[in-house]
Amino acid sequence: MTKVAISGTGVFTPEETITNAELVAAYNEYAHRQNALHAEAITAGEPEPMPMSSEEFILKASGIERRRVMTRTGILDPGVMHPLLPERADEDLSIMAEISVKAADQALEMAGRTADDVDAVICAASNHERPYPAIAIEVQQALGIKGFAFDMNVACSSATFGIQAAADMIRSGSARAILMVNPEITSGHHEWRDRDCHFIFGDVCTAVLMERADAARDGAWEIVSTRLLTEFSNNIRNNNGFLRRTREGHMTDRRDMQFYQEGRKVFKQVVPMVVELIRGHLADEGVEPSSLSRLWLHQANRNMNDLIGEKVLGRRPEPGEQPNVLQDYANTSSAGSIIAFARYSRDLPAGSLGVICSFGAGYSTGSVIVRRM
């Protein structure tokens, strides 16, 4: 059977950063203003006053120290509390396509490939800035790639699901090489006015170039096997969608039109799901957990990753065995495990085995076993 390899990766990191201190100051000022505005009603017992956020809580509960964003403008303004990005003309490259091209250029260069070598583009992300035409087709055109392109969305698991889709297509012969991009502008669909989650997300774009292993450069990573799993849950949800204007009252500023979750339930339910998936996948492929050099996990929460690493390996992971990037990037949805892989895989020798793993809304989880060539 045709073997498939990851021969290039790219990470576009936005220039602007927001620290926990800056985030908490903006949120707390917003909460103070809301409480002052509704002081009379609050005194009468309805609604509850908005609680304050704290840097200490954020670091302890999540491990996040700062996040990158496409723009700070608006997010830190207590009178706005969401990013403000200029509108682009239809003729101009859209913002998701722009950051995809930047990450893709790096992946192509690393793989030693040009547009002529690639037959397809997949844009796998947790939100797309428009329903159509596909962002992937715009990226395809911008890079001068022939063949076909499409968008897909499996929330935080979009990248591992994209890797399986691409690997299957290359294996079956429908494409020689496929470029996957994960432009995650989470700041646009995040709720910055909710203390329970305002610290969670950040923006980034990753890219992965996959091709036939027999044509790939030395030092590429063979995709040994992929496994995906989904199980419906309402614990991470966003009700915004194309039917919004058909529903009475949905055009107002409703909380459920942005990301919302039951974070503690997600933590408790997703950890066992992910551990079972990875352990079962490794067992079926005859790979002992002790033979893994590295786990590149989804970057949502440091405590969650510590627990998953410990349960998969059967011991506490050594420093470096399970690298985190969430302290600097926060949760970048589907891109998180790819940033970790791109940053922390080049030092490993040929023959090294590792697992790229995602988990998130759906629920959805994906496990990709890779071996350095």
Residues lying near ligand CO8 in the complex (CB under 6 A) are found at: 53-54, 57-58, 61-62, 126, 155-156, 186, 189-190, 195-196, 199, 201, 236, 259, 261, 263-264, 266-267, 300-301, 304, 331, 333, 360-361
- Residues paired with 4 in a beta bridge: 212
Residue placing its CB nearer to ligand CO8 in the complex, 59 or 215:
59
**Closest-approach residue to ligand CO8 (CB):** 360
Q: Are 209 and 8 in contact, with CB atoms under 8 Å apart?
A: yes
Tally the C-alpha atoms within 13 A of residue 329's C-alpha that lie toward its C-beta. 29
Residue placing its CB nearer to ligand CO8 in the complex, 354 or 360:
360
End-to-end CA distance of the chain: 17
Q: Where do we find the tokens 């292993």?
A: 213
Give min distance, CB of 223 to ligand CO8, in A: 23
Q: Are 371 and 221 in contact, with CB atoms under 8 Å apart?
A: yes
* Backbone dihedral angles phi then psi of residue 144, each to the nearest 5 degrees: 75, 35
Is 205 a residue of the active site?
no
Distances (CA, A) of 285 to 105, 169, 337: 33, 21, 21
**Cα separation of 218 and 350, whole Å?**
9
Give min distance, CB of 239 to ligand CO8, in A: 13
Residue placing its CB nearer to ligand CO8 in the complex, 100 or 187:
187
Give min distance, CB of 304 to ligand CO8, in A: 6
Residue placing its CB nearer to ligand CO8 in the complex, 106 or 365:
365
- Residue 128, number of CB atoms within 10 A of its CB: 19
Give min distance, CB of 10 to ligand CO8, in A: 21
Give min distance, CB of 204 to ligand CO8, in A: 12
According to DSSP, the β-strands at 177-184 and 120-124 are parallel
Residue placing its CB nearer to ligand CO8 in the complex, 53 or 182:
53
Cis omega (within 30 of 0) on the bond before 78? no
Catalytically active residues, by annotation: 156
